[in-house]
Amino acid sequence: MTSPSSSSPLRLGIAGLGTVGAGVIRLLHANADLLHARTGRTIEVVAVSARDRTRDRGVDVSGLRWYDNALDLVSDPDVDVVVELIGGAEGPARALVEAALKAGKPVVTANKALVALHGSALARLSADNAAPLLFEAAVAGGIPAIKTVREGLAADRLLRVGGILNGTCNYILTVMRETGQDFASVLKDAQDLGYAEADPTTDVDGLDAAHKLTILAGLAFGRPVAFDSVHVEGIRHIGADDLAFARQLGYRIKLLGLARMTDDGLQARVTPCLVPQHAPLAQVDGVFNAVVAEGEFVGRIMVEGRGAGAGPTASAVTADLVDLARGQAITLWGVQSGTVEPVRACPISVGEAAFYLRLRVEDRPGVIADITAVLRDCGVSLRSMLQHPADSETAPHVPLVLVTHRTSEAAMQAAIAQIDALSVVTDTPVMIRIEAA
């Protein structure tokens, strides 16, 4: 481990020179003097590894040692810190991080999939080999989310944590709301801007936010969270009409990741939510993310910033490098002792919420009576309803939007199944939870 008093350079080996890798090299170059002033050391890249040696990345890597095999960074005696920016929970990224930790080399990574799925095993390797593993960029990009939860809120017992954790989804929902464009063309923009994951289904199906929530909740509650205990829904089923209906009802739609400690264990979920339009979370638009936490003493806090893109992510990666250069690195879950067993999970079927339900129904007498009868039988109380006329006199189907009072998840799920089975309901119902935020 590097010594805080050392004034020798901190020498990096970077694997992955895509959006983030190139961004880190650019930042280290642009802010070299400032980083030296803040750490008393030079932070310099000595070696790199990526797939394509010839690609123009807008940064000069010609003077650096090049390895076709990223694992060679670990055995290079001139590399003090391995920076993993390849991505993916398995394959070369995992092999590299494990090898570096086993060799006692500190690792900085932006790889949320890897930390979410293998955090416990990596924490053990990190502890056994006294090799820090830092991953500030893995949660909410440029927002100091990890530091906020693990260090800034270290004194408090947290009750819930989460927020808007995926820039691609927030960008898509924002642009769809503002322009009425369709999902596919907005996703393409997000990819071109470097926000999306290599496989953007990871973003739009909610998995990326779930990776981040898994990590954040683990830090907030001091224990690993099993990734597969997180309930995950994405945004593909949200239409431009849902964004417009939400607006009429006084809400915005956001993909939220939220983890709450309940009497039955930790309930963690990633779901689209209607958020009151004047709530702070509703104002977080575009690629911006927001991390919210609530503690017994501190109350509620929110930190907002850019959750994706080269600059913000490079800023977070480099902040971890500054910690290493200063000799400050903390254990992975922020606890010094005690159990590392995963926290007990509480399924989403336990609990309650208010719900938005958008149906497409046949435009004929008795339809609303059929639907409200199901809600009555399931014990779901209706708060308001929007019924829009058909687009034209001849259109046979009309949208119908229902908003419920708070009710149990189980009752709502039962009602939706029965409503879906009604012959007058023509499309699969779209259900979105309403979150006070």
List residues forming the annotated binding site: 15-22, 112, 197
Give the span between the Cα atoms of 430 and 437, in whole angstroms. Answer: 21
Q: Which residue has the tokens 């264990």?
A: 265
Under the binding rule (CB under 6 A), the answer on residue 85 touching ligand NAI is: yes
Under the binding rule (CB under 6 A), the answer on residue 208 touching ligand LTNE7NMQ is: yes
Among the residue ranges 132-140, 178-186, 216-224, 373-381, the one whose residues contact Na ion (CB under 5 A): 132-140
Ranges of beta strands (E only) in 144-224 are: 158-164
Give the span between the Cα atoms of 393 and 230, in whole angstroms. Answer: 45
Give the span between the Cα atoms of 329 and 313, in whole angstroms. Answer: 19
Under the binding rule (CB under 5 A), the answer on residue 145 touching Na ion is: yes
Q: How many residues bind ligand NAI (CB under 6 A)?
A: 28
How is residue 380 annotated by DSSP?
P
Toward ligand LTNE7NMQ, which CB reaches closer, 232 or 415?
232
Under the binding rule (CB under 5 A), the answer on residue 316 touching Na ion is: yes
SS3 assignment, position 217 = helix
Q: Identify the CA nearest to 157 among candidates 15, 60, 293.
A: 293
Q: Is the distance from CB of 415 to CB of 386 less than 8 angstroms?
A: no
Residue 203: which of Na ion, ligand NAI, ligand LTNE7NMQ, none does it interact with, CB under 5 to 8 A by kind? ligand LTNE7NMQ
User: Which residues 41-80 are close enough to bind ligand NAI by CB under 6 A?
Assistant: 49-52, 70
Toward Na ion, which CB reaches closer, 123 or 165?
165
Interface mask toward Na ion for 18-57; x: CB under 5 A: ----------------------------------------
Under the binding rule (CB under 6 A), the answer on residue 166 touching ligand LTNE7NMQ is: yes
Under the binding rule (CB under 6 A), the answer on residue 175 touching ligand LTNE7NMQ is: no
Toward Na ion, which CB reaches closer, 131 or 145?
145
Member of 295, 309, 399, 429 binding ligand NAI (CB under 6 A): 309
The CA angle 66-72-77, to the nearest 5 degrees, is 95
Half-sphere exposure of 410 (CA within 13 A, CB side): 4
Among the residue ranges 30-38, 39-47, 86-94, 339-347, the one whose residues contact ligand NAI (CB under 6 A): 86-94
Ranges of beta strands (E only) in 71-193 are: 81-84, 107-109, 133-134, 158-164
Least distance from ligand NAI to the Cβ atom of residue 208, Å: 7
Can 212 be counted among the known catalytic residues? Answer: yes
DSSP 33-48: HHHHHHHSS-EEEEEE
Give the span between the Cα atoms of 13 and 15, in whole angstroms. Answer: 7
| Integer angstrom CA distances of residue 58 from 18, 20, 25, 54, 61 | 11, 12, 10, 12, 9
- DSSP percent split of the chain into helix, strand, coil, nearest 5: 40, 25, 40
Residue 194: which of ligand NAI, Na ion, ligand LTNE7NMQ, none does it interact with, CB under 5 to 8 A by kind? ligand NAI
Binding-site residues for L-homoserine, in ranges, read 197
Q: Identify the CA nearest to 220 among candidates 329, 335, 308.
A: 335
Under the binding rule (CB under 6 A), the answer on residue 17 touching ligand NAI is: yes
Phi first, then psi, for residue 340 (nearest 5°) are: -115, 20
Binding site for ligand NAI (CB under 6 A): 15-21, 49-52, 70, 85-87, 92, 110-112, 137, 141, 194-195, 197-198, 308-309, 313
Catalytic residue IDs: 212
Binding site for Na ion (CB under 5 A): 136, 139-140, 143, 145, 316
Binding site for ligand LTNE7NMQ (CB under 6 A): 141, 166-168, 195-197, 203, 208, 307-308
